[in-house]
Amino acid sequence: MKIYTTLILWTAFMLNGFSQPPSDKLKKNPYKNSQWYIGLAAGVNYNTVNVINEYSIIHATNRLDDELYRKDYTLTNNISATYGLKLMYQFEQRFVLGSGLLINELRFNYNQELPGNTRTVVFQHDHHLRYLDLPIYFRFMIRQVNSRMWNRSWKKPGVPPIIPFVQGGLNFSFLINANKEVSRSVIENDFEVQDLSFSEDVGGLLQSTTVGAFIGFGARFKLGNVYLTPQLNIRRGFSNVTNDETRYTNDNLTQNAYDVFDDKSFTSLEAVVSILIPLKYLSKREFIPVEI
């Protein structure tokens, strides 16, 4: 009789153990309440210049005519690329901490006219800058917070396949290289002739590190076991990108193009698409990631 009683109690204990909803394990295991992601990002940006202080080699004899010699920053040919690695940590259903290492290429251009009595000299300046960006930001997922309890059918908690989000943070940029192309044209009697062109490394004329902020929005799309996250961001630099101590040190630019950099910062509109891979799995053998 004791043997039968023991078997009945043992069977009841095992059934209770096997019938225990996974929700209890889920609640007790922090591993399943967060997720790490790594991935690739690529996109395009459109850059504009915010002039802080203007500088020039040549001034008009009448200071009221200095407007004639001002740089004319163009709004065309300012599109470039951004690409790199993303790393994100989702520690709650709605909150994500993100970072990464990205190459951010920026372009900006300006023209400068030197008018004369019989002829006008026009300089065109095209710039291509390359930065290594380290962003640090928070992302807020716009979604309903679902219970992490497994339902009575023992199905895992559902996660919306599409989740919109907003984000914002800081961006630390480290200059890799910077190149400038200069062309000079002479206009006389309605004839225009280009008589000079050269390229110049202008990395030494720029600050090696700059800081800015950005805000943006996007959405997360679930594609199998990976996530696609298109996003649109507006970036604004806080720092003057020009190195004031080296502004006049490039003789080729000052003597042949009468050119020095203004104090300036950048504002960029960027469209980026990321592919994110989760790093934590409920079952590595079956490739089932933790979803939150």
For 210-241, how does the pLDDT look when each residue is reduced to its tens digit (9 = 90+)?
999 999 999 999 998 899 999 999 999 999 99
- Single pTM value for the model: 0.82
What are the residue boundaries of the structural domains of the chain, listed by start?
1-32, 34-289
More confident call, 139 vs 14: 139
Cβ density class 253-288: b for 16+ within 10 Å, e for less: beeebbbbbbebbbebebebebbbebebeeeeeeee
Question: Lowest-confidence range among 96-100, 194-198, 208-212, 287-291?
Answer: 287-291
Q: Which one, of 272, 266, 265, lies nearest residue 233 by Cα?
A: 272
- Quick check: 44 pLDDT over 90? yes
Nearest in space to 202 (alpha carbons), one of 238, 133, 251, 237: 251
pLDDT score, position 147: 64
In this structure, the number of other CB atoms found within 10 A of the CB of residue 78 comes to: 19
Is the pLDDT reported for residue 130 higher than 70? yes
Q: Which residues pair with 179 in a beta bridge?
A: 128, 201
CA–CA dist 149, 5 (Å, integer): 34
What three-state secondary structure class fits 88? strand
CATH fit for domain 34-289, picks 1.25.40, 3.30.70, 2.40.160, 3.90.25: 2.40.160
- Is residue 183 predicted with pLDDT exceeding 70? yes
